[in-house]
Each structure stands twice: as C-alpha cells, then as structure tokens.
Chains A and B, each alone.
Chain A
Amino acid sequence: MIEVRRDMAEALAEAWSQIGRCGTWWTGAERVEIAAETRRAATCALCSARRAALSPATVSGVHDPCSSFPLASVEAIHRIRTDSGRLGAGWYERLLADGLSDAYYVELLSIVAIVVAVDTFRAAVGLPPLPLSASAAGEPARRRPVGAKPGLAWMPTLAPEDRAAEDPDLYRENPGPRERGGGNVHRALSLVPRSMIHWWDMFETMYLPAPAMRDFSREYRAISHAQIEFLAARVAALNQCVY
C-alpha cells in the first residue's frame, strides 16, 4: 500500500485535473491531446533514433503522433519529452518559423512537464499511469502579461519588478500566499501565468517551497535537505540539464 503525503497527493491530483481545463492559449481538449502526445513520444521511432544519435540533427524522418496537431507542436512535445538536454535556441526559433507562437509553446511545455513529473512519480513508487484527464469546455483568453519582456530566456518572461498593474503577482500574492523569489527558473513559464502557477503549485509539494529549501534548521520531508539536493543533482545530470 502506497501512502502518499496528503499535500502532495492533493497537488498531484489537482495538477492532473487542471490539464483538462481550458488554458490561456489551448482549449481543454487540446491540452489533453498534448498530454496524450507526451506519452506517445516515449515510443516514437524517430525520437528513439534521434536520442541514440550523436546529434539529433543527423536523423531525419517524421514523428509518430497520435494527435492532429501541426508538425511544429508535435516536434515540440516529442523533443521536450525525449531529448530536452540537447534543445537549443536554434531549434526553438525553427518552431516559431514553422508557426508555433511563444505563448502556445510555453503552455504546451508546462503540460509536458507535468505529465512527465506525474508519470515518473507513479512509475517510481510502483503505481500505474493515471488515465488522461477529462476535458472541459471553454474559450482560451489568449492574454499575455503586459510587463513581459524579452532578454532572459528564449521567450519573453515576467520579472517581479516588471509586473504591470493588470498582471498577476506570480511570485507572492496571487491567488494566495506564495514565496517565490523570481529566480530564473521561476520566471521560465511566466509568459503564461496560469501555466507557471499550475507547475509550481505541484512541484513545490514534490520538492520544497523556497523558504523550506533555505531553512536548514529542520527537515520538511522524510528525506534530508542533503538527500533531496543529491537526488536533484543526479536527475539533472542524467537529463544533461545545465541549469
């Protein structure tokens, strides 16, 4: 019997359910399709060949998708899922040239990351994958944060100091008390505020909220700070993640 910490179990369930809700740029049905495509990538022959190649650019072919998305979206989902450590700015720029917009990309990325995290967790503890979320109706608002600026990442991001009056406070106040310092990794998804909150509200229960991360006077989990950071470093190395 697997007994998952209550706060984490609730956060994982909420994050999974949110995939099916209407997003800022994608509809609920499209978001569920992104989740399905994320899982599909794990068995895509092209992705497998690229992953094994010295350079993914040396392998041509077409993906084996399960959705009706345009090729740029399928390429984004599959590469992020299967070979994220070798993604570069040139690859991202080609996606934009092929018609995928920056904000659509960011929301897509948040869903891929959540599917990867939830599926990985369940496999790790010996649980079967969750069925895909049911999709809800709704029309995406398609609104960008006014204060978002280019420069930090491949796409514009919203820094705490650049937030306009009409932008949500992603870092401390909205929709409740959060304490995110606005580090680069916090800002990564900030072009789509709801996606950023979607990810971080789940992730902080799996890892640690920022104040707990820096509080070495006590332990917040059943493993120590040192064990947590050791695991984080190991996973980053296995994924060839520079950050």
Chain B
Amino acid sequence: MDGTSDVGVDCAALLSEFADSVLACHGAALDTSRKQLAAAIGAAGMIDAAAVIAGFNGICRIADATGIPLEPPKAELTAGLRADLGIDRFLEAKS
C-alpha cells in the first residue's frame, strides 16, 4: 500500500481503507489503517480524517431518516455521475 491512487487525491487509498475499517468496526484492521494513515499524513491529519468519517456517519443518518431530497441544481449537475456510480439504485432499496 503506497497511499497513491488514480483519483487525484493524496493518500486516497489509505484514506479509503481507514474509512472502511472505521465503519466496519474491524479492530485489528482499524489499528493498522490508523497507524498507516498517521504515518503518511501525520497524527493531526489522521484525527481530522476520523472526524470527517464520524461526522458523515452521523449526517448520513439525518439525511436518510428525514427524506430530504437533493437540491435540483445539484441533482442536475450530478445526474451523469450518479448514474455511472449506481447511486440512484440506492433508492430502490428503500422501504
């Protein structure tokens, strides 16, 4: 793991792995990814990354549990992206 990727974001792979292990609550994997990320971007960076992950883990619940829609300009702007990524299919799972 060299922390690089083709998405144009520094340390994207390490950040993604950290987010995945945090949300999966994988103790050993989380310890490892936390240390790797801190080694790459520093302890303060790791803590700010943890804060973003945690904050969005909360706000996703607020968005999904209130049924707020995407603002029309944002929806229009991201229509192609959402289709490509399959995000619109999330709606089919709602009950």
CB distance from B37 to the nearest CB of A (A): 10
CB of A5 within 8 A of CB of B47, answer yes
CB of B56 within 8 A of CB of A124, answer no
CB distance from B50 to the nearest CB of A (A): 4
B62 in complex: contacting residue of A56, A183, A185, A205, CB < 8 Å = A185
Complex interface: stretch among A60-68, A115-123, A139-147, A170-178: A115-123
CB of B59 within 8 A of CB of A203, answer yes
Which chain A positions have C-beta within 8 A of B34?
Answer: 124-126
CB distance from B6 to the nearest CB of A (A): 13
A114 proximal to B (CB < 8 A): yes
Which chain B positions have C-beta within 8 A of A206?
Answer: 51-52, 54-55
A55 to B15, CA, bound (A): 30
The bracket for how many chain A residues form the interface is 35 or more
A225 to B88, CA, bound (A): 25
Listed A/B pairs (24) with beta-carbon separation below 8 Å: A84-B61, A87-B65, A109-B61, A112-B61, A113-B59, A118-B54, A119-B54, A123-B22, A124-B50, A152-B68, A154-B67, A188-B63, A199-B62, A207-B52, A227-B15, A235-B19, A237-B87, A239-B23, A239-B56, A239-B60, A240-B90, A242-B70, A243-B69, A243-B70
CB of A242 within 8 A of CB of B87, answer yes
Closest to B87 in A: A242
Which chain A positions have C-beta within 8 A of B70?
Answer: 184, 242-243
B84 proximal to A (CB < 8 A): no
CB of A228 within 8 A of CB of B57, answer no
A69 proximal to B (CB < 8 A): no
Given A86-B95, A125-B47, A227-B15, are A241 and B52 also a contact pair (CB < 8 Å)?
Answer: no
Point out which of B31, B50, B65, B85 has the most chain A C-beta atoms below 10 A from its C-beta. B65
CB distance from B79 to the nearest CB of A (A): 13
Which chain A positions have C-beta within 8 A of B64?
Answer: 80, 84-85, 87, 239, 241-243
- Chain B residues with a Cβ closer than 8 Å to the other chain, count: 56
Interface residues of B (CB under 8 A from A): 7-12, 15-16, 18-20, 22-23, 25, 30-31, 34, 41-71, 85, 87-88, 90-91, 93-95
Given contacts A86-B94, A124-B49, 19 further A-B contacts (CB under 8 A): A90-B95, A91-B95, A109-B61, A110-B62, A117-B57, A119-B54, A120-B58, A123-B30, A183-B71, A222-B42, A223-B41, A226-B10, A228-B48, A235-B52, A235-B57, A239-B23, A239-B60, A242-B63, A243-B70
CB of A223 within 8 A of CB of B68, answer no
Query: Which residues of chain A from 76 to 90 have any CB-CB distance to chain B below 8 Å in the complex?
Result: 76, 80-81, 84-90
Closest to A154 in B: B67
Query: Which residues of chain A from 148 to 194 have any CB-CB distance to chain B below 8 Å in the complex?
Result: 152-155, 183-185, 187-189
CB of B44 within 8 A of CB of A236, answer no
CB of B49 within 8 A of CB of A231, answer yes
What 4 pairs between A and B have smallest CB-CB spacing?
A: A117-B58, A206-B55, A121-B54, A88-B94
CB of A153 within 8 A of CB of B60, answer no
Which chain A positions have C-beta within 8 A of B50?
Answer: 121, 124-125
Which chain B positions have C-beta within 8 A of A205?
Answer: 51
